[in-house]
Amino acid sequence: MTKKIFAIWNGLSHAWRFAFCGYFVTRVALTLWSLTIYSIFPIAIQNLDLFGEPVLSAFVLRTSERHVYSRQVNDTVLSFHAADSNHVTDNQTESIWSLRDGQAVQGKYSGSLLQPSKHSVEEIFPYLGVGPAKNIYLALWQRFDVNWYMKIATRGYSSDDGSTVYFPIYPMLIRVLSLFMNPILAATLISNLTLIGDLGLLYSLTATWTDDTIAQRTGIYFLLFPMAFFLAIPYTESLFLFFVLASLLSASRGRWGWAVLLASLSALTRLQGVLLIIPLAYILWREMRNFSLRVKILRTALLLVIPLATISFLAFTNLSLLSTYQRTLNARFVLPWDNILAAFSILFSGKGSVVDALNLVFTLGLVFIMFAVWKELPTEIFLYSLLMLAAPMFRMTTNQPLVSMLRYGLAIFPIFIVLSIWGKNQWVNRAIIYLSLLLQLYLSAQFILWGWVG
């Protein structure tokens, strides 16, 4: 048996051996890091000010219990920190308060009660009617959009709750696998399997344009990227990128039917997927002289399947995407530079967060790197990169310009190739590795503790 396993392993290409090794190291590291956060911070505490109300929110990582109270006691606004998994301590008097009933059990305020907040636990820790995972390894990553996908997979879409901004392929796959396992386990399995595929395909594509050394370094930078933890949890990042990479690789090898099918699946995974029609159309135009008239017509017509996939989903949801963005997500459509100017404005006003600053710096860095993508890589890859950069910049939320740009950067895979080329210089290589790793540790910890990072 062992000999057969070694024979299979030795029969794999460098790309897929790297993919499996890279995935294994990443999965183990993320699990260990999440358990470290779990042991250091038994409760995620936030002292918030929500629309003029001082609010204490507390999330118990071990049990996924949620608590929300007003921080105002009589005429005093208190701030809190964790005492243990069941209690918090206010910073002003060091009184100890029970999270279960909000009563002070020790100290100056002993016997006093924290009043319920006007804001519900669901507003601050949204589970959307989905129960927290019982397995701690899964529960620690069950945050934000994860619960949207669980909700859609188990109960379907609704026209009035904001769910129609989430495209259907990922929740459909979750629903199918949920016939055999827990939905959140199914979602995690999909993301992890497609992450392995991402690594193998990224290596293969990169090696066709550069060499194995750069291809391997590209994969390492990709896994160390500050938002790379999203690839291994129930988000669409891995699945979307798998369809994109497989489509582009298929097109480069002349497998046009597969290229269009995979691009259509990407368009049903995320809205940006429809833009794959442009780099694919460029590949088709470049190779037109090698085809007969019949093949030219057939392949051009086949491309129309990609936007048709997107239009079909929009029609299914009664074209509610635009109104949902505006009504539920407080988003509006703007020009890209308006997003950048708004990001500068919010930071200079002192209202911005660390994540806002990172999104702005990263976006400006992407604009700079686009010139290198244009010079170093094929034109269709530059077109893809430019479209993936520009698309999310046409949307701006009220309080967070350039929202999630750092996470969307995962889909712009050519930036990792360019950085890998620059990484031949050891100082550049060390800077990229150290900075990326530190930021990923920080941002993933924030995510586990219910901090919005993207």
Residue 332's pLDDT is what? Answer: 82
Global pTM reads 0.95
Closest among 60, 103, 106 to 84, alpha carbons compared: 60
The helix (H) or strand (E) run that includes residue 81 is: strand 80-84
The SS3 of residue 297 is helix
Burial 92-102 (b: 16+ CB within 10 A, else e): eeebbbbbeeb
Residue 328's pLDDT is what? Answer: 65
Residue 331's pLDDT is what? Answer: 77
Neighbours of 40 (CB within 10 A): 9
Strand ranges inside 384-429, DSSP E: 395-397
Percentage above 70 pLDDT, the chain: 97
Q: Give the whole-angstrom CA distance, residue 269 versus residue 251.
A: 19
Q: Give the whole-angstrom CA distance, residue 71 versus residue 52.
A: 12
Strand ranges inside 206-345, DSSP E: 331-333
pLDDT, tens digit, for every residue of 85-115? 899 999 999 999 999 999 999 999 999 999 9
What tens-digit pLDDT sequence spans the chain (454 residues)?
A: 777 777 788 788 999 999 999 999 999 999 999 999 999 999 999 999 998 999 999 999 999 999 999 999 998 999 999 999 899 999 999 999 999 999 999 999 999 999 999 999 999 999 999 999 999 999 999 999 999 999 999 999 987 788 888 999 999 999 999 999 999 999 999 999 999 999 999 999 999 999 999 999 999 999 999 999 999 999 999 999 999 999 999 999 989 999 999 999 999 999 999 999 999 999 999 988 777 878 778 888 999 999 999 999 988 886 666 667 666 667 788 899 999 999 999 999 988 899 999 999 999 999 999 999 999 999 999 999 999 999 999 988 877 899 999 999 999 999 999 999 999 999 999 999 999 999 999 999 999 999 999 8
Q: Give the whole-angstrom CA distance, residue 293 versus residue 258.
A: 21
- CA distances (Å), origin 388, targets 97, 176, 417, 440: 48, 29, 16, 22
Residue 287's pLDDT is what? Answer: 86
